[in-house]
Amino acid sequence: MKVVIPAAGLGTRFLPATKSQPKEMLPVLDRPIIQYVVEEAVASGADDILIVTGRGKRALEDHFDHSPEFDSSGKYPELEHLAELVRHARIHFVRQREPRGLADAIGLARQHTGSEPFGVLLGDTINVCEPPLLRQLWDRYEKLQATVMAVEQVAAEKVHDYGIVEGKEESPGVFRCERLLEKPDPSETRSRLGITGAYVFTPDIYSAIDRTRPDARGELQITDALQVLTADEPVYATTFQGTRYDIGDRFLWLRANLEFAYGVPEHRARLRPILERLLEESSDSVRPHGSPRSRRTHRQKRGHAE
């Protein structure tokens, strides 16, 4: 299975952390986000991965490259899993020269995937699913022989952050797409089925991208290309089992760190008293990190405990 991972976005929602490092390299617990995405692809059966990068994203290439300082010494068992991933799948890179939208980034894979169907996972989204989300989608693709994407119910106030699917539910959780709208106003659609950013495409998506018009910002949106594709062939959306962490959102990044840490027994034992203390404190005393009051409170508490 070939998988394309667009990772060219500027990460503006995460500034200043992403001013000089790719958002895909932000760590969640002990690994950069992109490593989780590659792990999901490999666990889903990928043996060939194309990562679409852009300016300022060299760290992504370095992460999956051989590094003589670390790799040859055998001293770092922490790197063994990463080495294993690279043994399972060939990882290639292509650069998107200008930020011209997700469909433009996916379009850069055309020569690479050729006439085969292929999976797409976003480089800033971790899916915790069993079976892995892309595997679930691929199995669905094999039954339907049609493009299929993952969707989940989103709150009305979040509709404008998502591609939204309107369609007919043909079997439980599987919708044949009729209309797709990129980040609409909630008043424009009654649907609350948000596209989560995991897809399996037939190769026909490339000709649909060619026929897609840029949006108001001059970007080519994959949701608009999917709308074009619905005129040519069936396109499906499916709900899935599992949890998605869109790391482009700083709250969800924080949530992912907390939940992942909580899943590790040794971290959980140390986190629990901290979380309990935070919950006990009145909301008045919880101030942004670094504010004079919060530093004083922290010192006082530590002093008290020592």
Query: Interface with ligand G1P includes 54 (CB under 6 A)?
Result: no
Q: Is the CB of 102 or the CB of 237 nearer to ligand G1P?
A: 102
Instruction: Decide whether 122 or 146 has the Cβ nearer to ligand G1P.
Output: 122
Residue 42 or 225 having the CB closest to ligand G1P: 225
β-bridge pairing 2-6 and 48-53: parallel
First to last CA, the chain: 56
Residue 18 or 196 having the CB closest to ligand G1P:
196
Choices 68-76, 113-121, 221-229, 254-262 (CB under 6 A): range interacting with ligand G1P:
221-229
Q: Which stretch binds ligand G1P (CB under 6 A): 22-30, 65-73, 75-83, 220-228?
A: 220-228
**CB of residue 161 vs ligand G1P: minimum separation in angstroms?**
7
Among 197, 202, 227, 236, binds ligand G1P (CB under 6 A): 197
Closest CB to ligand G1P among residues 82, 101: 101
User: Does 22 help bind ligand G1P (rule: CB under 6 A)?
Assistant: no
Q: Determine the 3-state secondary structure of 175 from DSSP.
A: strand
The CA–CA distances, whole Å, from 260 to 33, 81, 240, 264, 277 equal: 12, 17, 20, 7, 20
For ligand G1P, what does the binding mask look like between residues 157 and 186, x meaning CB under 6 A?
A: -----xx------------------x----
Q: Which of 2, 85, 246, 253 binds ligand G1P (CB under 6 A)?
A: 246
Q: Which single residue is written with the structure tokens 């991933």?
A: 85
Rg (CA), the chain: 21
Amino acid at 147: T
In angstroms, the CA 217 to CA 163 distance is 16
Binding to ligand G1P (CB under 6 A) within 97-116 occurs at 102
Closer to ligand G1P at the Cβ: 33 or 89? 33
Binding flag, residue 195, ligand G1P (CB under 6 A): yes
Tokens of 105: 């980034």
Least distance between ligand G1P and beta carbon 124 (Å): 8
Q: Give the helix/strand (H/E) hosting 141.
A: helix 133-144
Question: Residues in contact with ligand G1P, total (CB under 6 A)?
Answer: 13
Are 256 and 35 in contact by the 8 Å Cβ rule? The answer is: no
The H or E element that residue 178 is part of is: strand 174-182
For every residue of 35-92, DSSP letters joined together read HHHHHHHHHTT-SEEEEEE-TT-HHHHHHTS--HHHHTT---GGGHHHHHHHHHSEEE
| 196 touches ligand G1P (CB under 6 A) | yes
**Shortest separation between residue 140's beta carbon and ligand G1P, angstroms:** 18
Using CB under 6 A, list all residues that contact ligand G1P.
102, 162-163, 182, 194-197, 221-223, 246, 248
